[in-house]
Homo-oligomer: A and B are copies of this chain.
Amino acid sequence: MKPQDQSSADPASKEHLRLWLRLLKINRLVEAELRERLRLSFGTTLPRFDVMSALYRNPKGMKMSELSRLLMVSNGNVTGIVDRLTEDGFMLREAVPGDRRAARVRLTRNGIAEFERQAAAHEEWVSELLGGLSPEDTRRMADDLGTALTLDRKDADDA
């Protein structure tokens, strides 16, 4: 497994670039649609949904740094989003016994209920938006991406 040589006429790099442009495009299409629907249906945003989703899967709460690493966004970014979600009563910061630097964040009862409504709609929307892909294509592509991701390192979780 050696690095590929880099000729500007390398056909493999052209194919990779073609794939990358399509990944980018479908991502933008789906994200734009999800953002619009989250806004209209729930008055929320994708980053807020992502944070609530992470906390929903971790009912005991997560430290800010854990959230930041899982979502692959900066620490300061998480601070702001959690601030606003806390103001809205969907989550709260708790002290971590034995470490006065850290903060543990978890969903409130209200936040759990709200996220469950959002998640149900979200799953339907995603399936609708990717509906052009057959079940076989869907599964195969997810598997292919899985191998690409493991080779790329840095994959933390994954079912």
Which of chain B's residues has its CB closest to A1's CB?
Answer: B116
- Given contacts A4-B57, A29-B149, A119-B6, A127 and B72 within 8 Å (CB-CB): no
User: Chain A: how many interface residues by the 8 Å CB criterion?
Assistant: 63
Whether a CB of chain B sits under 8 angstroms from the CB of A100 is no
Q: Which residues of B contact A147 (CB under 8 A)?
A: 132-133
Whether a CB of chain B sits under 8 angstroms from the CB of A102 is no
Whether a CB of chain B sits under 8 angstroms from the CB of A141 is yes
**Once the chains are docked, how many angstroms separate the CA of A131 from the CA of B20?**
12
Whether a CB of chain B sits under 8 angstroms from the CB of A39 is no
Select A141's contact among B14, B119, B141, B149, beta carbons within 8 Å.
B141
Chain A residues proximal to chain B, CB less than 8 Å? 1, 3-4, 6, 8, 10, 12-20, 22-30, 32, 56-57, 59, 72, 112, 116, 119-120, 123-124, 126-133, 135, 137-142, 144-155, 159
